[in-house]
Amino acid sequence: MMAKKNLLLTVSAGLVYLFLYLPLVIVVVFSFNDSKLNAEWVGFTWKWYGKLLYNQEMLTAAMNSLIIASVSAGIATILGTLAGIAMHQYRLRLLQMLVLAPIAMPEILMGVSLLVLFIMVNMTLGLISIMLAHITFCIGFVALAVQARISSLDPALIEAARDLGATPWQCFREVTLPLLMPGILAGALMAFTLSIDDFVITFFTAGVGSSTLPLQIYSMVKIAVTPEVNAVSTLLMLVTLVVITVASRLSPAIFRGE
Amino acid sequence: MVWVFTGRENGALLEIVNVSRHFDTFVALDKVSLHIEAGEFFTLLGPSGCGKTTLLRLIAGFDQPDGGDILLDGKSIIAVPPEDRPLHTIFQNYALFPHMTVAENIAFPLRMARVAKQDIRTRVAEALEDVRLPDKGNQYPDALSGGQKQRIAIARALVNRPRLLLLDEPLSALDAKLREQMQIELIDLQKDIGITFIYVTHDQGEALALSHRIAVMDHGRIIQVDEPSRLYGYPGSRFVADFIGKCNLLDGKVSEQQGSRVTVELDGLGSVYVSGLETQFAVGSRCALTLRPEKIRISRSSAIPGASDTLSSPADPSPLSSFDGESHFPGYVHDMLYLGDVTVYNVTLANGVLLETLLANSASGRTNFFEIGDQVEVAWSCDAGHLVLD
């Protein structure tokens, strides 16, 4: 009876994972297929990855993505950390809502409203506008990661630092910041992956010549899903996977939803 | 009746003057005043929520009073931030910095005080030596046992010689055996270094064992401040009698006072003498006789020839049930608790009140002197108890 139940559970879990990951597996597999068509397996090859290196548009897009992700994640980490600390210290409902709303907001809404804003203030769409947009939606994730870390800390540690002679600033630098570091790093890595993968908001806030990797893939797919697209998607997947794994090691709490 | 500490009041190290603290409508501290002398081991004792930790936090500077003043060496420290107060705190869970090694933890207060690097190294080594953990310097706090963490926390707090050490239930996280050992270490340590300790606990046994003086607190007020033996022997109120150690309270009325000897008519039992009293009691006032279990003798009824002579019933209250020396009352064993070293016998008296008595199990073979339901006689000398007014 017990074994039967376990079997059922295993099978259903397997089906769910299959449903989630089969499309990704297909992309990875066909990125190594020695054929221009995504139809049947012909043979193994690295050539599509090699071709990527000579695709100037793709390289520019990848560079843009890296710059945008690094800068946005960096700035969002600083702002998000401060927001996370403030959320913990002041426990204001409104503050919490304002910081976290962009996480729950439909991306299309964020995209459209940011576009309207940028046009209103007469801002040229380009790398800067994309970065500003990415910072906006990344702050909430960093704040969440930092807040999760703070609430797991013993508040007596901060008081102990003051008690032992540390000024508020020394206390922050010597005790609070080092103890929050795992949460901050996890938040930064999450922000990085969110930024590098984003399509919808980037689509609305990008200008001519500021294409990112997801936008580039999209424009290529409009013609056909070439093996080259599969290859670049596989690489993007790999980067995301590595970063998320590192982040989850640093701050298990937020990935357990605590 | 409030006991006031009268000695050495001038030049107190720490003076707490009419300090109040409210949290919304909750009164955590209600005009508390205290004097703590240099070199004292002073304990704030009370049930949870009595305000003892709030008071400690005000002294440390983590919180601000709503009224009153706190003076150190005669100067107000209310406006001084915690880092500039010459005192340190031992926290309940030690609050060792988990990202620093033991040595870095101990070095922290020295580093904040900008002590020279070489001096820090030697003083940290000395501090580790003092707490008998010289080879733990490179370990992280997570690798230490509870008792070791405790010692490191003490080493860290004492390394730059504060004027005052505040201890917030520091032994509550340790198991019973280790706690007793740490109590002895704390007493020795305090004696050796001579730094004033202010100790917060809800454990009356710990307070009695450690302190020079104890302030008993309840509902944000100081109920009584006294030395442990006086607090135990001469509680000033029902609350103190009940809170410090085990205590029987027999209700009655003051019927006469001759010098230090008071005649009390116990409800439903009869009259007894209480001697050795220092205060004047108004005749007719309601009171309670406090009797510690170990001060009551329990014996078999038949052991006393003519036991009926000392019998007194509410119907016949006129003859004093006590002659000058001892009071005797009959009763029967209601229930008992064998505790190994002693057995507790709860005796029901004629008025239905349960009296807790103790009998030391002096022989290893015989465990029960009495059985439940046995007729017994309880007795105590007239200087065994103390009177508290209602």
Q: Which residue, among A181, A192, A122, A119, has the nearest Cα to A153 in the 3D structure? A: A181
| A213: phi then psi, degrees, rounded to nearest 5 | -55, -50
**Nearest C-alpha of chain A: how many angstroms from B185?**
22
Q: What is the pLDDT of residue B308?
A: 41
Structure tokens at A138: 């990344």
In B, minimum Cα distance to A170 occurs at B112
Beta strands in chain B (DSSP E): 14-23, 26-36, 41-45, 67-72, 75-76, 87-90, 164-168, 196-201, 213-218, 221-226, 248-258, 261-266, 270-274, 286-291, 297-300, 326-338, 342-349, 354-360, 375-381, 386-389
Could you check whether B39-67+77-239 and B246-389 share the same CATH topology?
A: no
Task: Report the gap between the CA of A233 and the closest CA in chain B (Å).
Answer: 40
Taking 50 as the threshold, does the pLDDT of residue A167 lie above it? yes
pLDDT band at B276 (very low <50, low <70, confident <90, very high): confident
CATH label of the domain that carries residue A214: 1.10.3720.10
CB–CB of B99 and A179 under 8 A?
Answer: yes
- Under an 8 A CB cutoff, do B83 and A162 touch? yes
Contact between residue B141 and residue B97 where contact means Cβ atoms under 8 Å apart: yes
Min mean pLDDT across A43-57, A77-91, B321-335 is at B321-335
Nearest-Cα distance to chain A for B216, in Å, is 25
The answer to whether B91 and B153 are in contact (CB under 8 A) is yes
* pLDDT surpasses 70 at B310: no
Model confidence pLDDT, tens digit, residues B115-161: 999 999 999 999 999 888 989 999 999 999 988 999 999 999 999 89
Q: Do B92 and A156 touch (CB under 8 A)?
A: yes
Cβ atoms B263, B272 nearer than 8 A: yes
Contact B98 A166 (CB under 8 A): no
The whole-number average pLDDT for the span A221-228 is 80
Query: Are B91 and A159 in contact (CB < 8 Å)?
Result: yes
In this predicted complex, what is the ipTM?
A: 0.79
Q: What pLDDT does A93 receive?
A: 85
Residue B82 to residue A178, Cβ atoms within 8 A? no
Lowest mean pLDDT among A19-28, A246-255, B261-270: A246-255
pLDDT surpassing 70 at residue A84: yes
User: What is the Cα–Cα distance from B186 to B154, expressed in whole angstroms?
Assistant: 9
Structure-block tokens of residue A97: 């809502």
Q: Report the distance separating Cα B194 and Cα B82, nearest Å.
A: 22
3-state DSSP helix/strand/coil percent for chain B, to nearest 5?
Answer: 25, 35, 40
**How many CB pairs below 8 A link A and B?**
60
Residue from the list B88, B92, B93 with its beta carbon closest to the beta carbon of A164: B88
Task: Check if B149 contacts A (Cβ < 8 Å).
Answer: no
Contact B88 A161 (CB under 8 A): no
Q: What is the mean pLDDT of chain B?
A: 87
Range of the domain at A160: 54-255
Instruction: Find out whether A215 and A199 touch, Cβ atoms under 8 Å.
Output: yes
Q: What is d(CA B15, CA B72) in angstroms, rounded to the nearest whole number?
A: 6
- Residues B196-232 have pLDDT tens digits of 999 999 999 999 999 999 999 999 999 999 999 999 9
Q: How far is B78 from chain A (nearest CA, A)?
A: 15
Give the closest of A154, A165, A175 to B109, CB-based: A165
Across chain A, mean pLDDT equals 87
Q: Are strands B286-291 and B297-300 parallel, antiparallel or unpaired?
A: unpaired
For B62, which residue in chain A has the nearest alpha carbon? A159
Q: Which sequence spans correspond to the domains of chain B?
A: 39-67+77-239, 246-389
pLDDT tens, residue by residue, B62-113: 999 999 999 999 899 999 999 999 999 999 999 999 999 999 999 999 999 9
Residue for token pair 């202010």: B198
**Is B39-67+77-239 assigned to CATH 3.40.228.10?**
no
User: Which residues share a beta bridge with B330?
Assistant: B377
Predicted confidence (pLDDT) at residue B8 exceeds the cutoff of 60: no
Confirm or reject contact between B373 and chain A (CB < 8 A): no
Secondary structure in 3-state letters for A37-67: CCCCCCCECCHHHHHHCCCHHHHHHHHHHHH
Q: Which of A164, A170, A179, A180 to mutate to test the interface with B (most CBs of B within 10 A)?
A: A164
Are the C-beta atoms of residues B147 and B176 closer than 8 Å to each other? Answer: no
Q: State the fold for domain B246-389.
A: OB fold (Dihydrolipoamide Acetyltransferase, E2P) (2.40.50)
**pLDDT interval class at A2 (50, 70, 90):** low
Is residue A251 one of the residues assigned to a domain?
A: yes
Q: For residue A210, tell me if it sits in a domain.
A: yes
Contact (CB<8Å) B156/A162: no
